[in-house]
Structure 1
Amino acid sequence: MTDIPLASSRLGAGAPLVVIRQLDREGWTPVIDLLSNERDVVAVDLPGFGDSPSLRDGTTPTVPALAAEVAKWFSAAGLTRPSAVGNSLGAAVVLELARSGAVGSAVALSPIGLWTGPEAAYALGSLRFARRMAEALGDGSARVTGSPLGRTLAFWQLVARPWRMTPEAADGSLRNLARSPGFEATRRAARTYRLAGFTPHVPVTVAWGTRDLLTPRHQARRAARLLPGAHQVRLRGCGHSPMSDDPGRIARLLLSATTG
């Protein structure tokens, strides 16, 4: 039984496909809508993000600890080795689930943990700055997200064409960033996380946007070395959160790369 009640939603019918979310909830929405035409899409917020509470008893929210909690949640939700997908932190969690055999297939979009120390400091420091900005804006976030220029300034590291985001999606993302209670503890724990090499025993796809400015695409070459059995995909023209740049392409990738 899971230790905490993870927030989740379910849409569609067919083979289960779990979408693991953290700061990217709004970016996943159009992809989930497309996937639900063919799959039973189960979206779950990681502990400490979105509507899910943080881990209990002072447990440090490392990537393996988050993956272990999600694996417990699978059982509570009646899911047996489902296919799973995640982006960034969620992608690293998906890879840990693939390592343990908790999923039947996995897709990792721009996973963290393939960085050097300076690269981790840059990415996590950028997110900390974004968090402080979102907190400072508070209820006035619409003043920024209501204009193409404001959306570009807020999301240039995450989305290749942030000015194309809808004001609603951009505003929801900033509000989620500001209110997620586990953000800072998870950010600190992620500094030392490194994906150790392993040969996946389930189908694994790793995809990287060619315009990723947070975890640059040269990290994909490390993924090829550390995950020699994984299928590697380049997402041309996409940023760190490719769901926001090309939801149709991401939906097609997930349908073709996961068991169903």
Structure 2
Amino acid sequence: MDAVLSSSRAGTGEPLLLLHGMGSSRRDFTAVLPLLTARFDVLDVDLPGVGSSSALDRRPTVAAITDAVERTLVEEGMGRVHVLGNSLGARVGLELARRGRALSVVAIAPSGLNVPPERLVQGSGMALARVVMRVGAPLVGALSRSALGRSALLAPLKARPWATSPEEAVGAREGFADSRDYWRTLLWGLLVDVPRGLDRISCPVTLVQGVADWIASGQTVRYLPLVPGSRFVPLLWAGHAPQSDRPRTIVRLVEETAARAAQPGDSSASR
């Protein structure tokens, strides 16, 4: 059986799960973590094959990755949780909601609803990023120490890459260069994934996308008619992984979406 995922846990309050995107690690939430732990009991995980998390023994489909996340929640003694996810992590968050394991979800640029030409472009870009980051991996440590270096590393993902932390730059190396199951995850987790059963989601969902996100293009808004009661929020001056572009705004959205879960009159409140 696959092992539980590597994670860190901090804070007190309602349970909140953080799920990073492909090409990063749990370090990508560095900018929002101190703000979230003041309000939530936060579990920040590395997805399979990233950081200290083992790769899966089976195909890393969204379902299989979600299974691994659920095992980790059980190990941590957590039941239903609020979720903040980005990209592939947002897609896994929606799958948790479909399974009834989420109290609420803030899904930033969730993968899964891009059309075939967009998948081709995304796959090509992710493949190139893997190769470039593998070649440049020895330089990431040095580049991460300057705003200019972090801008070079993170410009495709962030609208304000110079404002990121060294932790986020190292996270990109962990997600792109060091990932131990990159190619299978790219294929099974992203390129052939087609979401199903989204109409069974009954918790509050906020869909978020940065207006400077060229990776996910327009796929986030496509979830709106498929997820009952979901809401869409565009973020100005924000990219595909905007956790450090607009940290306070993202924390506010998590708090507001979590509050909706406690309102019985909300049409999308958990049942």
* TM-score normalised per structure 2: 0.87
Q: In structure 2, what is the equivalent of residue 47 of structure 1?
A: 48
Q: Distance in 1 between matches of 2:51 and 2:184?
A: 15
Judging changes above 3 Å, is the alpha-carbon distance between structure 1 residues 144 and 125 closer, same or farther for their aligned structure 2 residues?
Answer: farther
Q: Distance in 1 between matches of 2:89 and 2:174?
A: 19
Q: In structure 1, what is the equivalent of residue 27 of structure 2?
A: 26
AA aligned opposite 1:41: V
Equivalenced residues, count: 256
Q: In structure 1, what is the equivalent of residue 108 of structure 2?
A: 109
Q: Distance in 1 between matches of 2:151 and 2:34?
A: 25
SS of residue paired to 2:84 = strand
Structure 1: unaligned runs, 5 residues or longer: none
- Contact residue 114 and residue 222 of structure 1 kept, 8 A: yes
Give the superposition deviation at 1:232.
1.4
Query: 1:89 aligned to 2:88?
Result: yes
* TM-score normalised per structure 1: 0.90
Deviations 1:19-45 (A, max 9, x none): 123514332012111111111111111
SS of residue paired to 1:245 = coil
Deviations 1:199-255 (A, max 9, x none): 221111111111111001x22331222224212111121110010211111111111
Give the superposition deviation at 1:167.
4.1
Q: In structure 1, what is the equivalent of residue 12 of structure 2?
A: 13
Query: 1:68 aligned to 2:67?
Result: yes
Q: Distance in 2 between matches of 1:34 and 1:213?
A: 27
Q: In structure 2, what is the equivalent of residue 36 of structure 1?
A: 37
Give the superposition deviation at 1:111.
0.3
- Contact residue 196 and residue 226 of structure 1 kept, 8 A: no
Judging changes above 3 Å, is the alpha-carbon distance between structure 1 residues 202 and 123 closer, same or farther for their aligned structure 2 residues?
Answer: same
Structure 2: unaligned runs, 5 residues or longer: 263-271
SS of residue paired to 1:205 = strand
Q: In structure 2, what is the equivalent of residue 241 of structure 1?
A: 241
Q: What is the RMSD computed on CA atoms of the aligned residues?
A: 2.0
Q: Distance in 2 between matches of 1:116 and 1:149?
A: 34
Deviations 1:71-103 (A, max 9, x none): 222222211111112100000000011011112
Q: Distance in 1 between matches of 2:180 and 2:82?
A: 27
Q: Distance in 1 between matches of 2:237 and 2:137?
A: 31
AA aligned opposite 1:194: V
AA aligned opposite 2:127: R
SS of residue paired to 1:115 = coil
AA aligned opposite 2:44: A
- Contact residue 12 and residue 42 of structure 2 kept, 8 A: yes
Give the superposition deviation at 1:177.
2.2
Judging changes above 3 Å, is the alpha-carbon distance between structure 1 residues 237 and 124 closer, same or farther for their aligned structure 2 residues?
Answer: same
Judging changes above 3 Å, is the alpha-carbon distance between structure 1 residues 187 and 176 closer, same or farther for their aligned structure 2 residues?
Answer: closer
